[in-house]
Each structure stands twice: as C-alpha cells, then as structure tokens.
Structure 1
Amino acid sequence: MDSTQELIAQGMKQSVPWVRTAGIEFTEISDGRVVATLPDVAEQRNHVGGPHAAVMFGLGETATGAVVLAAFSDVLDRAVPLVVSAEVRFTKLALGPLRAEAVLGRPAEEVLAELDAGTRPEFPVHVTISNAEGVTTGELTVRWTLRPNR
C-alpha cells in the first residue's frame, strides 16, 4: 500500500477502536475497492465454531467505511459519511480467517456531482466475504450517504 492507503488504514484503526480490537487488517485500498481481513479468534466464534454473525457483519461494514474514506476523502471537510442502511446474507458456514472485498456501487463522480448540486447523495457499497479457500460465506450491501455540513 502507498502512503495514502496506509493513512486510510491507520485512520480507520484510530477513529473506530473496534477495528483494532477485532484485529481487522487492510490488505488493499483503492478509490473504489478495499480488501480487509479478519483472523480466526476463538473469542469471536459462534455456537457452530465460526465467526459470529456480528463479527462477519462488522468486517464487511468496516471494509465499506474504508471504501468511502478512500473515494471521498477530499470532501470530508464539507460532508460527513454516514451509514443509511445495510442488508446482509450469510451463504455458507464461515470457518477460519475471513476476507471481505468491498466495492463502490456507483461512480464517485456521480456521487460528488450530487453533493456539489446541494443534495445528499446515497450510494451502495457491495461486499463479498470469503473464507481462506476463497468460498463466499456472506454478502453485504451497505448504503451510505454524504451528509453536507451545515
């Protein structure tokens, strides 16, 4: 990762203490895509030995937050990113370490044009969570907004 990407990763760990606590790491960060990983931690497992659903959701939602920071860091002085809604699907029992790939669901330029026009844009970030073998174990769509500062 370059220095800007490293700043985003460190910023996430500083501004959201849970990211550090959970052990989430960022392995790839670009303007429209982030890959985050979560180690297998016994204290975070559920009744069937996999990561608890809340932990899986937290990994995915955290990856979406990093996408938002990467794509819209230039406008954070005039807008606050906020989660509007989220939908999650668990598709297969997750065991072991996990990987979440989050992708911006709309071109950043469109979102910024709406913000510049004085509206409060909303946009999805799609996430695929997979296990160490690359098998998809969950999917999320987190809807974000950029709330203009008043």
Structure 2
Amino acid sequence: MSIGEMLAATVPMVRTLKLEYLETTPEKAVLALPDQAEYQNHVGGPHAGAMFTLGESATGAVVIAAFGSELGRAVPLPVRAETTYKKLARGPLTATARLGRPAAEVIAELDEGRRPEFPITVEIQREDGAVTGEMTVIWTLRPND
C-alpha cells in the first residue's frame, strides 16, 4: 500500500476533499486538490480551509515517508503552522511540500532522547503555475514513553 493510499484510508479529510497523492518521497510530496464547487469560497476558488488541508496533508506525507520507520518509538505531530495566501486560487491546486532538515539529523536528535522539531515548507500553485499560497508547518517526533 502506498503512503497516499494509507493516508486516504486513515485520514477522513483526505477522502472528503478527494486529495490526490502525485509524488511522495522522504524529501518531497506533491498533492493535488481537484476543483470542487462544494468546497469553494465566496469568490469561486477553493476555501482557505481546503487549501490549508491540502498543504498540511502534503507535509504529513513527507513525515510518513521520511520517518515512518520511527513510528514504533515516536509519534509525529504538527506543532505549529504559518500560512500565507498570496494570490486568488481558482481551479485545481497542487501543493509541493519539502522537508527542511535532513532526516538523519532529526533521527539523531531522537536517538539522543530529545524531541526534535523540523520544518516542512509548502508551495501551493494553480494550474497556470502561479503560487497562490505558502506554508511552513513545524513537526515534532514525540518519543513514546
């Protein structure tokens, strides 16, 4: 089962918004949000909440790809997020998330008994390539006690 299939099966919002997993690696994930009238805002574009969910879901895919082997000893959790809406979003959107620290560095902190934090940046684009939003989500690996 792919990461996208696993997340679609276990995360209800992924199914609700019909998010599509186009690429998932330990360094990068690309997700698509189809244009759906039921999730549009007052100006005919995707609602800000749908855009946030798209971006946050892309970061979660990177986390699972990069740190899935650590799930037996730590729980990945988002700590905080910052979102900037830059241009009017219309039509289908694509979010590209990128891990901001080397995974080996994060795992080394976990090995030392620390609770590492790491950023994942996201760029959300329209079909024409215009960047409509940017996000940074700070994640942690909380060690199991």
Structure 1 residues not aligned, in runs of 5+? 1-5
Deviation, structure 1 residue 56: 0.3
- The CA RMSD measured in Å over matched residues stands at 0.6
Q: Distance in 1 between matches of 2:124 and 2:75?
A: 26
| 1:29 lines up with 2:24 in the alignment | yes
Moved over 6 A (4+): none
2:64 to 51, 66, 69: 69
Residue type of the partner of 1:75? E
Q: Percent identity?
A: 58
1:80 to 56, 75, 81: 75
Render the CA deviation track for 1:24-73: whole Å, top value 9, x for unaligned.
00001111100000000001000011000000000000000000000001
Q: Distance in 2 between matches of 1:15 and 1:120?
A: 25
1:146 to 117, 141, 144: 141
Residue 107 of structure 1 corresponds to: 102
Q: Distance in 1 between matches of 2:57 and 2:47?
A: 15
**SS of equivalent residue, structure 1 residue 66:** helix
Q: Distance in 2 between matches of 1:83 and 1:59?
A: 14
Compute the TM-score of the two structures, normalised by the length of structure 1. Answer: 0.95
Render the CA deviation track for 1:63-121: whole Å, top value 9, x for unaligned.
00000000001100100000100000000000000000000000001100000000000
Q: Distance in 2 between matches of 1:127 and 1:86?
A: 11
Question: Aligned residue pairs: how many?
Answer: 145
Q: Distance in 1 between matches of 2:87 and 2:50?
A: 15
Q: Distance in 2 between matches of 1:28 and 1:134?
A: 17
Compute the TM-score of the two structures, normalised by the length of structure 2. Answer: 0.98
Residue 92 of structure 2 corresponds to: 97
Residue type of the partner of 1:57? F
